[in-house]
Amino acid sequence: MNEAHARHVLAAYERHYNEHRPHQARNQLPPGADQQPTTVHRPENRRLLHTRILGDVINECRYAA
């Protein structure tokens, strides 16, 4: 590994931390969100999408639109 790889890994983690990861101090909202996402009333009818970050070190899940 080299400096370019380390910068790439840190940038990916920073994006995840600041854009997607829930924060306790913000009532489980990511920093960029102003409100809680809408509640899914019938999740069995929705497809769950997984996004792999940093080669599966971090996984984000969300319902398909």
Model confidence pLDDT, tens digit, residues 13-55: 888 877 777 777 777 777 767 766 665 566 666 787 888 888 8
User: Which residues 6+ apart lie within 8 Å of 53 measured at CB?
Assistant: 12, 13, 16, 59, 60
- 8-12, 22-26, 56-60: least confidently modelled range: 22-26
Parent domain of 53: 3-63
Number of domains in the chain: 1
The CA distance from 39 to 55, in Å, is 29
In the prediction, which pLDDT does 44 show? 67
